[in-house]
Amino acid sequence: MKYHAFISYSHRQDGILGANLEKALEKFAKPTFKRRALEIFRDANDLSAAADLGNKIEAGLLDSEYFIFMASQASARSKWCQREVDLWKEHKSMDNFLIALTDGEIVYDEATSDFDWTKTTALPKNLSVAFAGEPLYTDFRTIGATEEQTLKNINFEGKIVHIAATLHKKSIGDMVGEAVKQHKRTMRLRNAAISVLSILLIIAISASFVALRQKDKALLSTYIAHSQAQFNQDPTKSLRLAEYAYKFAKQKNMPVKEASEQLIKVFYNGFGFYQKNQVTNFQFQKNTSVSLENNPVYNHIKEIAESINNETPDGFYLGKVDDLYFNSATNQAIYVLSGTEMPFPKIYAINYDMQSGTSQINSAEIKLDGFSGYTAYVQDIEITLDGQYTLLGFANAKAALIDNQAYFNTNIEKNIFKDRSVLKSGTNYPISKVAFVDEATHMLTLSYDTEIKNEFRRNVDSTYYYWKKEPFSYIEIRNSETEHQNSSLDGNYYMKLIGENRDNYFWFHYAQKV
């Protein structure tokens, strides 16, 4: 089986708890050199690039050994959860059906060998007479706020142990013993690593007193190492450290090769670069001038945009987001629309002919890898005042800057979907607002974490990110019927394998150079 367990839950009720349950099961008793202790399927993590969500969920369920049903009044009413339960009953054993109660009640009637459906509110009716006897369940209803849903909370950890023991096929005692053993092993390795690093640090410090040159080399290496360590955690800090390392090397007349390589790596890693909290309390609002409101052509185009919006279906609970740019000198407009029922955001070029009184509409989908569906829906859209660029803020903590004109370029040799930069913040918080600032030389995004308090979701820990609006240069290599099996769009570059006796058919598997 590819997965140890499949988690079925209500996004509205248990979205946060479901994510924390998955993390805890993956982390509990994890061997030191393994990425996860268990492989868990949860749709929010496993469907980001799926073309057909239903088929992907069905495949994940059938490829799982256990089924974890997060029982609540919301999941009992959910048609999706009911379908998942039906699919499991049809193809899998109910002996591997686990229940995690998060809300509502479960009451079993021994006389009828079934649940008392007059009192049971947390389970769907299609579980009637599905079990040979009263099923055991783990009660998560006593778990409080989000910060308590970690293995540091002994109450939460105790409930995770019950589920993990079943998935690992161990007794609870053996499961706890395994967790302790793995923790001790990790601590021994950590202490050994700290000892080795401490010794290296002492050697480096001692060497610095022997020769100033050695001291500068050690410092340079430290800056580069810290930049590398922060690469995936905080791209801003990684960029600043790499930049400082480069300047330090030049100032000390030292070789700049390693520092410049790290600086280039960070700068062109696809995250972009940003500065945190450069502005606060920025007012994200779209202003339409009075002159446009009184422009009949603008109002006509606005009606066209509204009709396009009305023809696009709404999501289950997430609405559509859009933005409209209008050029009063040319009577041309750009309209960008996105919704959870749309496979990809769409960009429309609307041209109004004053003489004939007709409008021409061209459209194209904004296709970005990993930016589609529920897990990467758009939360805000902004177009520059000159209509050249569009900025999209996504729920997966990324923003995308696209060149509007590229989507309507007739040059077939240009890959219009690469003419943009993707910006990733250092947090996992959704990007809720975007804007162009400083006369569109920079971009601003606003991210929030969320917490549930008194049964209501509220935003916390707001963070602003400040980006330079500079599309990154790139060379696109694609498969081609040439001697090298690949070439750039302009034909000036190709990828050459490094090393001998390499099979050209698998050229993309090996190290290579341009």
What does the alpha-carbon distance between residue 434 and residue 445 come to, in Å, rounded to a whole number?
Answer: 4
Kindly state whether residues 452 and 486 are assigned to the same domain: no
- Asked whether residue 55 falls in the same domain as residue 19, the answer is yes
pLDDT of residue 269: 63
pLDDT digits (tens, 9 = 90+) for 287-316: 666 677 788 899 999 999 999 999 988 877
What is the pLDDT at residue 69?
95
For residue 441, pLDDT beyond 60: yes
Residue 190 falls within a domain, yes or no? no
Tens digits of residue pLDDT in 165-198 = 889 888 878 877 777 777 777 777 777 778 788 7
Mean pLDDT value across residues 338-356 = 88
- Domain harbouring 122, CATH code: 3.40.50.10140
**Torsion over CA: 462, 463, 464, 469 (sign):** negative
Are 119 and 145 found together in one domain?
yes
Comparing 433 with 357, which gets the higher pLDDT? 433
Which amino acid, 502? R
Task: Tell whether 163 is covered by a domain.
Answer: yes
Q: Which two tokens stand for residue 89?
A: 């009953």
| Same domain membership, residue 53 and residue 172 | yes
- Considering 131, 156, 177, which residue would you say is the last residue of a domain? 177
Chain length of the chain: 514
- Assess whether 53 and 102 both reside in one domain: yes
Q: What is the per-residue pLDDT for 159?
A: 87
**Quick check: is 198 in a domain?**
no
Pairing assessment for the beta strands 456-468 and 477-479 based on DSSP bridges? unpaired
- The pLDDT confidence band at residue 33, using thresholds 50, 70 and 90, is confident
Domain end call among 159, 177, 195: 177
Q: Which residue has the higher pLDDT, 442 or 509?
A: 442
β-strand pairing of 346-353 with 332-338: antiparallel
**Shared-domain flag, residues 443 and 494:** no
Is the domain of 232 the same as that of 351? no
pLDDT of residue 122: 95
> If DSSP states are collapsed to H, E and C, what string results for 334-391?
EEEEECCCCCCCEEEEEEEECCCCEEEEEEEECCCCCCCCHHHCEEEEEECCCCCEEE
Select the more confidently predicted residue: 19 or 406: 19
Are 493 and 467 contained in the same domain?
no
Q: Is residue 285 part of a domain?
A: no
Mean pLDDT, the chain, integer? 82
Residues 319 and 338: beta-carbon distance below 8 Å: no
* 191 in any annotated domain: no
Q: What average pLDDT score do residues 18-31 get?
A: 88
195 in any annotated domain: no
Q: In which band, very low, low, confident or very high, does the pLDDT at 412 lie, cut at 50, 70 and 90? A: very low
pLDDT digits (tens, 9 = 90+) for 265-275: 877 665 555 55
Q: pLDDT higher for 217 or 335?
A: 335
- What per-residue confidence (pLDDT) applies to 34? 80
Higher pLDDT, 261 or 470: 261
CA distance 409 to 495: 27
Straight-line distance from the first to the last Cα atom of the chain, in angstroms, rounded to the nearest whole number: 40
Give start and end residues of each alpha helix (H) in 32-170.
43-46, 53-62, 73-77, 79-91, 154-168
* pTM, to two decimals: 0.45
346 domain residue, yes or no: yes
Q: What is the pLDDT of residue 373?
A: 59
Range of the domain at 31: 3-177
Mean pLDDT for the stretch of residues 475-485: 78
pLDDT exceeding 70 applies to what percent of the chain? 84
Q: How confident is the model at residue 487 (pLDDT cuts 50, 70, 90)?
A: confident
Domain contains 61: yes
Shared domain for 397 and 488, answered yes or no, is no
CB–CB of 37/29 below 8 Å? yes
Mean pLDDT, rounded, for 3-8: 94
Separation between Cα atoms, residue 157 and residue 21, nearest integer Å = 10
* Per-residue pLDDT, 264: 81
pLDDT value, residue 285: 77
Q: Is the dihedral of CA 438, 439, 441, 444 positive or negative?
A: positive
Q: In this structure, are 508 and 489 located in the same domain?
A: yes
State how many domains the chain has: 4
Determine how β-strand 456-468 pairs with β-strand 442-453: antiparallel
**Whether residues 295 and 330 fall in one domain:** yes
Q: Is a pLDDT exceeding 90 seen at residue 501?
A: no
pLDDT in tens, 112-135: 999 999 999 999 999 999 998 889
Mean pLDDT of 240-245: 89
Structure confidence by residue, pLDDT tens digits, 142-154:
887 777 888 888 8
The pLDDT value given to residue 201: 81
pLDDT at 194: 82
What one-character-per-residue DSSP string does 394-454 give? ETTSEEEEEEGGGGG---TTS-GGGSEEEEE-SS---EEEEEEETTTTEEEEEEEEEEEET
Cα(235)–Cα(273) distance, integer angstroms: 7
Of 147, 149, 182, 176, the closest CA to residue 164 belongs to 176
My answer on whether 367 and 406 are in the same domain is yes
pLDDT at 67: 96
CA distance 459 to 450: 5
